[in-house]
Amino acid sequence: MNATILGDASIWPWVFLVLAVGAALSFEFVNGFHDTANAVATVIYTHTLKPTPAVVWSGIWNLIGALTSSGTVAFGILALLPVELVLNVGSTAGFAMVFSLLISAIFWNLGTWYLGLPASSSHTLVGSILGVGLANSIFGPAHSITEGVNWAKASELFAALMISPLIGFLGAAGLLLLTKKILSKPELYRAPEGQAPPPGWIRGLLLFTCTGVSFAHGSNDGQKGMGVILLILIGMLPGTYALNLKADPKVLPAIEQAAAALTHDFEVKQKGTSIYGQKARDILATYIKPTGEFGSDATASVSGLCGEIRRRVHGLDSISSLAPAQRGELRTDIYLVSKAIVKMERNGNFNKDSEVHQMEKQMASASQKMINFIPVWVKVAVALALGLGTMIGYQRIVKTVGERIGKQHLSYAQGASAEAVAMGTIVLADHFGLPVSTTHVLSSGVAGTMAANHSGVQMRTVRNILAAWVLTLPVCTFLGALLFALILNGAALIGLR
């Protein structure tokens, strides 16, 4: 545990740990107000299921989705965070980062939920992370906004968040029109009447799409909170969470073999020169930043840290047999070497033969199994937080989705089309490790079905949703930066920095 938080003997580090994990779970709880509520909107609104069974059913499939998630979205989100804060998340600045991004995201989500506006938890978290990164770079030694944010990764996430609502609108509209041509069932295109449930086959269809969206939401949105919680645990309890202690022991000889080959290759490039220890870590931490420049010290540091990785894992029969005190450093070395090699390869900084390229791939693959993992209890906790949030706050969003987007009430076919497209979009994004907004995909899907059906759209509601969509990123960026600066300066005043 990082001694900058009042020292290891103090109770305060544990208090901060509990508060930080609690804040991450609170974010997912509030996420349930928004995103998971969309999954149950159609089945509740069409009287396919009563509210309580609907949210319990959705919660179960969110849990299954979260438990079977790959973790790629979680680590994609974390790639936006400033390198120095990721490596030192147990420090005062690290805690300022965690609390700033979570509090700002929760604040915006609660505000938009209170107004009944479907808003994106993905947008809120990404915006808050950008704010923290910008503030950290401005108040850091470099005083440069270009260093605090991985703009290449940010642009990739922006593209996913911007394009997915368009896919929802066009996809749901197209699916509804296709359904009308294929299925000539008048009852499918009627709005619910009174409290009567729809015909059995329509109930089955709506239940299937609700299940699919719930599963996809758990596998995608749930990962955001998982990634933040894991980051907290790594910083505070590296001996337990820095490495996947349950990973297949076969990764150890694979890493040792790859590290030995890469050490030799980079030593040849540097004519036998290598840099070791903390100096090498500092050099690579600077190099892998967006503004980091390639130089001989970077290759010498890769050579040195590869050698240290090889020595640490040599002779181990399992990851758990590595001394707890060394696990955090091994994770840091693997993280830095992996990021540095990827950047060097992408920028064409050196020529390599096919054997070296194979060793790089082997190193990357084995390393991912050791450091990119989500503990099962974290997945369960996040899934439960999502489900509980849905049960408590679903009504406002359900009413907006069901009644306030279109001028006419949502029909069975419209609800099923919107949810089917949302399910497919989220599953596809999850495959590529991209965060998307269930809220915006589904809301735009409902609007698309209204347009395709010539049902009319309530422009006031659409304008409000668009305003929330446009304002979320800049507002959360501002809030994240402001809170980071306030917490960091407040900590300095009371002697914690």
Over residues 93-115, the pLDDT tens digits come to 888 888 998 999 899 888 887 77
Residue bearing the bigger pLDDT, 418 or 148: 418
Residues 230 and 427: their CA atoms lie apart, in Å, by: 23
Residue with tokens 């979205």: 73
- Both structure tokens of 231: 């980051």
Its pTM stands at: 0.79
Helix, coil or strand: residue 375? coil
pLDDT given for residue 395 in this prediction:
66
Over residues 186-234, the pLDDT tens digits come to 888 887 777 778 888 888 988 998 898 888 888 887 788 888 898 888 8
* Helix, strand, coil shares, percent, the chain, to 5: 75, 0, 25
- Both structure tokens of 290: 């967006």
Residue with tokens 């509740």: 44
Over residues 310-328, the pLDDT tens digits come to 999 998 989 899 999 899 9
Helix, coil or strand: residue 385? helix
Residues 65 and 216: their CA atoms lie apart, in Å, by: 6
Angle CA(13)–CA(17)–CA(19) in degrees, nearest 5?
A: 115
Over residues 373-421, the pLDDT tens digits come to 888 899 889 888 877 777 776 666 666 665 666 556 778 888 889 889 9
Q: What percent of the chain has pLDDT over 70?
A: 87
pLDDT, the chain, mean: 81
- Both structure tokens of 60: 């179960």
Nearest to residue 292, comparing CAs of 143, 86, 83? Answer: 83
5: pLDDT strictly greater than 80? no
DSSP letter for 233, please.
Answer: H
Q: What percent of the chain has pLDDT over 90?
A: 14
What's the rounded mean pLDDT across residues 38-57?
81
CB 118 within 8 A of CB 38: yes
Residues near 249 by beta carbon (within 8 Å), at least 6 away in sequence = 316, 317, 318, 319
Residues 352 and 350: their CA atoms lie apart, in Å, by: 7
What's the rounded mean pLDDT across residues 276-300?
87
Residues 69 and 73: their CA atoms lie apart, in Å, by: 9
Over residues 68-80, the pLDDT tens digits come to 877 777 777 777 7
Please report which confidence band the pLDDT of residue 3 belongs to, taking 50, 70 and 90 as the band edges. very low
Q: What is the DSSP string of 310-333?
A: HHHHTT-SSGGGS-HHHHHHHHHH
pLDDT given for residue 1 in this prediction:
39
Tell me which of 1-15, 183-197, 478-492 is least confident: 1-15
Tell me which of 343-347, 360-364, 445-449, 461-465 is least confident: 461-465
Residue with tokens 């938009």: 112
Please report which confidence band the pLDDT of residue 453 belongs to, taking 50, 70 and 90 as the band edges. confident
